[in-house]
Structure 1
Amino acid sequence: MSHGTTKPFVTVVIPSHGGADRIVETLDSLARQTMDPSEFEVVVVLNGILDDTPDRIQQVRRQHPRLRLRTVQLRESGAGRARNAGIAAAAGQHITFVDDDDAVSPGFLESLAAAAEDGVIPIGMVADVLADTADGLVEFDNYLNRRISTHAGQTVAGEVLSTALGFVAAKLVPTALARTAAFDPSLRSGEDVVYWFDLFNRAPFLFRVVDADSDAAYHRSIRAGSLSRQIASYDFSVSQRLEVIERLASREVRHPEAAMVRGYMVAAQINFLNGYLREALGEHRRAIEEIRERGLESVMRYDVLNAGLARDLAICYAFPPWADTSGSVAARRIRRRGVVVDVISQSLASRAERDLTGQLIAQEFIGEHAELAGKAGTFNWRPIERFVATGMEQIADWETIKGRYRSVYSRTMWAPSNVLAGLYKIRHPEATWIAEFSDPQQWDSRGHRRSTLARPGPLRDELVAGLAAAGVELGEEVNVAELVELLAYALADEIVFTNENQREVMLGYLGRPELEARVRSISKVSEHPTLEPTFYHLETVDYPLDPGHLNLAYFGNFYATRGLTEVVAAIRSLTPEQRERVRLHVFTAKPDELEADTVEAGLGGVIIANPYVSYLGALNLATRMDVLLVNDARTEGLHARNPYLPSKWSDYAGSDTDVWAITEIGSVLSTKKARYQSPLGDAESARAELAAMLEDHL
């Protein structure tokens, strides 16, 4: 290898801020290089307030006159700014960076130079030196070196050894490539991560890892306690990591390999953040708020961020990614609560479609999520037994790692949630149980009493015994729906009803005065949560709307108790001119059947049948309509008062779109401030409301 004597082959850039007490050792290690001194130069960039560093450099010059040593001085401090100045001043064909408190082995430069070629970045080993010890012990067994040494003597793609892009040292980069990017001086840490990503993004390169016995080692100086102090700082471990992620996310990726590398780099920053949160669980909500403020939700790996953080449990038989109303409400509850939870849910493959957008609702607060396999069932005992047995096994595995859970939250429209939560509470009475009911369990929406029985066996016996210990006796035959309610009434620490009517109806048929008193003392009414406005624009649905028409929308299936007969009759009773200006867009599970029905009713083109859209898609469409339609379930003659509040109301409430509520007398929906309201089954009133909508919107 012939490099000439005038232009050095390597420039060593050393940023130094107040480095008088450490720069000499760094420079001495360079003076001892096996590479001929004429083949490399050292550029020390002094930045910030000057101390005695220039004098120490002069001392080195006198001791090592053959060392090609230059200095550059900057008034402003900052390692990134200093490295940029060093790159600009470099005369060498290649550049390597050394910090002023580190050192390199004698064969470092020569070994790296021997491995240099076009498109290849040589990289050496990284060793830690505990600077505060008398013998300066060199330790090669560290996080970085374990990953680098795996490829010793090999040439590998940059994306394969992406760890090497996460730090500035131990590499030799062509000066021409080094000058295609710049260190970001506004970053307080992690500027090397962004810099090396920018280089790789411009021109993908390979890494050549030197042989383990080549004496090419970079010695990092580690001061006792320095790293632990950094990790203990929210600013360093969260805010500064998010700053780095911001910069990485802002880059326009030029090739697939760079996209892969950026993903690895972002995950590494989040993993560091997670390490801090494991020691400071109380800071998680603060970190989430900062992630939102910076607009990083779409790039955040919440599975990495929340790994190992959950000390609370959520049992939600229905849960995203399945398109299920109860599951989306449970996700909104978890989001509203703002506590990281591990989730046990059931696969609903036999009952529902997947809706991946639903996972965005609570992702910020999900730790582990175990979706149990098997055919879903509502009140059938065998599926319940299977769900409970598998769920308890999963919980036990998690608790082996992290210890007992502090609390368990369950949401019951699907009965198995309360059964598993009740069993957990019986076995771990110290855990706080928050039990939510979406609807009365013992009566379906048609007013039929559920009569499925729990089969005799260990699970039923343990639950019955747990209730008996709480003073609640059951007979020989155990009704599953009654069991689901009683477990929460007797054992839960907090019970959530979605509306006051629901609580009164459910307690009205309880028939156990002492238990009723307990429920009233620990229960609260909390309607379905409404998501923040940003969720209404996370997904944009390409759906054409004619502004010359009154555009109404209805989302959901048609039920025997929740049909739209009065709406259909009202539309038909409009004048032809009025009817022509109305478009009712229905998004439902069986659009073909609906379309056939509307054609038969003479309303083809007026009522437009569409397949279901995703949950976030529905929120987006809700903001674009003129009026949103929601209607009560018909319960007259079934219950003393209507115990149901359609969850669509909470979705509509965040859309800023007018709502038309078709209500039953005395229902909770009838008390809402919908701009338009008509009684259930009253077609004439519905026609009058439609006429008002046409007047208001057109």
Structure 2
Amino acid sequence: MSKPTITVIVPVYKAMATLDRCVESIVSQQTEEPIACILVDDGSPDDSGKMCDVWAARDPRVTVIHQEDRGVSGARNAGLAAAGSEYIVFLDSDDALRPGALQAALDAQRRAPHSLVCWQYTTEEADTAPVTSAAESRPQTGLARLWLDCLLAMPWNKLYRTEYAQQVPFDTQYTLGEDLQFVLDYIALLGSREPAFTYTILTAPLTFYDCSRGGTLSTRYHADYCKIWPEHFAKLNKACCNARCPQEDMRPLHRAELTVYAEGVADILRRDPAKRAAVRRDKAIAALRSPWLHALLERMRIERCYSAYYLPCRWRSVRLIFTLAEAKRTGSPMFGKLDWAGYYLLGGRLRRD
């Protein structure tokens, strides 16, 4: 078999229900250049590893790595180290590539060789939107906008140069938000090697993202949530500063960061395993004393950037934060009432854009 142009890396763990759909979406891709698929069985306790072996026996483009459970980052790193292609695409075992996705990404890359190719995704498995290589170009100053458009934080909607990606492996110390760290490290390396690079954003959704698994706060409780996200956001903000992102993008970025953090504080009250409510409350108040949070609130004050969580975090009012977060989570009109109440308490002088 000739050397592949693109390798799709799939970490596999307890994936029996969706693995066939995932791998079928890869091997059925119609491409002008050869592709490969690396399945990394990360110590699956079920028969996922055997299913991987069946696929490898069926299709010579599929190879399997079996390893002890090292987590999703360790699995992706094993696939990275084994890849020998020009480009890499990541795919989770419960997701799928849409027909024509790899060729569309490759066509866009060939047209814009000094770019990072990214694409939209769909949460509809039967989405009929046409897959094309039509794309828009964004400058490096658009980094914050990528986050706001939900295009930055995930690793599976981008085409990576293998030689660069292998130099910035996933940081296995993180079990939350590690994807953002990898993407930012890759962008920093790309910028150092190709200073004039741009972002090429395909307008078609190329990946089916199975959102039935839920989001971070709706799946399991993370005790270090309010420690880890400030580290990620500090790195993101530094990258955006280096990219000279405009203020009209930085304000909503900071607002989004405050929302993520405040909802993490609320989750301490909601799901921390401490039996006593007073202990959970003390943990939440301790999180509100974070130097990173203080610096973010001060930056928002200077930017005159308003958020419904701005005053509750300033006041360290865990009750207000929890009430807001619960109202938002349940779709209660109370969120809007408290939002506007805070805005007018500040004289209506801060920006809501």
What's 1:188 paired with?
A: 175
The answer on whether the counterparts of 1:156 and 1:207 sit within 8 Å (CA) in structure 2 is: yes
What's 2:54 paired with?
A: 59
In structure 2, relative to structure 1, the CA distance for the partners of 1:338 and 1:26 (3 Å cut) is closer
What's 2:277 paired with?
A: none
In structure 2, relative to structure 1, the CA distance for the partners of 1:157 and 1:257 (3 Å cut) is farther
Distance in 1 (CA, whole Å) between partners of 2:35 and 2:306 is: 47
The answer on whether the counterparts of 1:44 and 1:86 sit within 8 Å (CA) in structure 2 is: yes
What's 2:146 paired with?
A: 162
In structure 2, relative to structure 1, the CA distance for the partners of 1:120 and 1:399 (3 Å cut) is closer
What's 2:261 paired with?
A: 273
Partner SS for 1:172:
strand
- Whether 1:245 and 2:230 are equivalent positions in the alignment is yes
What's 1:300 paired with?
A: 296
Quote the offset at 1:268 in angstroms.
Answer: 4.1
Distance in 2 (CA, whole Å) between partners of 1:25 and 1:139 is: 17
Distance in 2 (CA, whole Å) between partners of 1:78 and 1:246 is: 20
Distance in 1 (CA, whole Å) between partners of 2:126 and 2:239 is: 43
Quote the offset at 1:235 in angstroms.
Answer: 3.7
What's 1:220 paired with?
A: 209
Quote the offset at 1:300 in angstroms.
Answer: 3.0
Partner SS for 1:125:
strand
Partner SS for 1:76:
coil
What's 1:75 paired with?
A: 68
Specify the code of the residue in structure 2 equivalent to 1:34. Answer: Q
In structure 2, relative to structure 1, the CA distance for the partners of 1:273 and 1:254 (3 Å cut) is closer
What's 2:274 paired with?
A: none
In structure 2, relative to structure 1, the CA distance for the partners of 1:39 and 1:289 (3 Å cut) is same
Quote the offset at 1:169 in angstroms.
Answer: 1.1
Partner SS for 1:18:
coil
What percent of counterpart residues are identical? 18
- Whether 1:290 and 2:284 are equivalent positions in the alignment is no
Specify the code of the residue in structure 1 equivalent to 2:22. Answer: T
Q: Residues 285-684 of structure 1 correspond to what in structure 2 (within 5 A)?
A: 286-290=283-287, 292=289, 295-297=291-293, 299-301=295-297, 307-309=307-309, 338-339=316-317, 401-402=337-338
| Unmatched tracts of structure 2, length 5 or more | 192-196, 271-279, 325-333, 346-353
- The TM-score, its normalising length taken from structure 2, stands at 0.69
Distance in 1 (CA, whole Å) between partners of 2:95 and 2:103 is: 18
Quote the offset at 1:400 in angstroms.
Answer: 7.1
What's 2:122 paired with?
A: 127
Distance in 2 (CA, whole Å) between partners of 1:100 and 1:400 is: 38
In structure 2, relative to structure 1, the CA distance for the partners of 1:267 and 1:255 (3 Å cut) is closer
Quote the offset at 1:340 in angstroms.
Answer: 7.3
What's 1:458 paired with?
A: none
Q: Identify which range, 155-164 or 295-304, moves more after superposition.
A: 295-304
Specify the code of the residue in structure 2 equivalent to 1:289. Answer: A
Partner SS for 2:30:
coil
The answer on whether the counterparts of 1:34 and 1:106 sit within 8 Å (CA) in structure 2 is: yes
Q: Residues 174-185 of structure 1 correspond to what in structure 2 (within 5 A)?
A: 174-185=161-172
Distance in 2 (CA, whole Å) between partners of 1:70 and 1:152 is: 32
Quote the offset at 1:231 in angstroms.
Answer: 2.4
Specify the code of the residue in structure 1 equivalent to 2:338. Answer: K
Quote the offset at 1:90 in angstroms.
Answer: 0.7
- Superposition RMSD in Å: 4.3
Distance in 2 (CA, whole Å) between partners of 1:233 and 1:211 is: 30
Distance in 1 (CA, whole Å) between partners of 2:80 and 2:55 is: 22
Distance in 1 (CA, whole Å) between partners of 2:171 and 2:182 is: 7
What's 1:524 paired with?
A: none
In structure 2, relative to structure 1, the CA distance for the partners of 1:247 and 1:338 (3 Å cut) is closer
The answer on whether the counterparts of 1:188 and 1:240 sit within 8 Å (CA) in structure 2 is: no
Partner SS for 1:7:
coil
Specify the code of the residue in structure 2 equivalent to 1:307. Answer: S
The answer on whether the counterparts of 2:226 and 2:287 sit within 8 Å (CA) in structure 1 is: no
Distance in 2 (CA, whole Å) between partners of 1:298 and 1:49 is: 42
Specify the code of the residue in structure 2 equivalent to 1:11. Answer: T
Specify the code of the residue in structure 2 equivalent to 1:271. Answer: T
Specify the code of the residue in structure 1 equivalent to 2:207. Answer: Y
- Whether 1:97 and 2:90 are equivalent positions in the alignment is yes
Quote the offset at 1:53 in angstroms.
Answer: 1.9
Deviations 1:266-289 (A, max 9, x none): 764433334566788887874451
- Whether 1:207 and 2:195 are equivalent positions in the alignment is no
Distance in 1 (CA, whole Å) between partners of 2:128 and 2:221 is: 29
Quote the offset at 1:254 in angstroms.
Answer: 7.5
Specify the code of the residue in structure 1 equivalent to 2:307. Answer: A
Quote the offset at 1:191 in angstroms.
Answer: 0.7
Specify the code of the residue in structure 2 equivalent to 1:9. Answer: T
The answer on whether the counterparts of 1:47 and 1:82 sit within 8 Å (CA) in structure 2 is: yes
What's 1:231 paired with?
A: 217
In structure 2, relative to structure 1, the CA distance for the partners of 1:7 and 1:44 (3 Å cut) is same
Quote the offset at 1:124 in angstroms.
Answer: 2.5
Quote the offset at 1:100 in angstroms.
Answer: 0.5
Q: How many residues align?
A: 302
* Structure with the greater alpha carbon radius of gyration: 1
Quote the offset at 1:128 in angstroms.
Answer: 0.5
| Unmatched tracts of structure 1, length 5 or more | 130-135, 141-148, 313-333, 343-363, 368-397, 410-698
What's 1:27 paired with?
A: 23
In structure 2, relative to structure 1, the CA distance for the partners of 1:270 and 1:285 (3 Å cut) is farther
Partner SS for 1:273:
helix
Distance in 2 (CA, whole Å) between partners of 1:399 and 1:245 is: 25
Quote the offset at 1:57 in angstroms.
Answer: 2.2
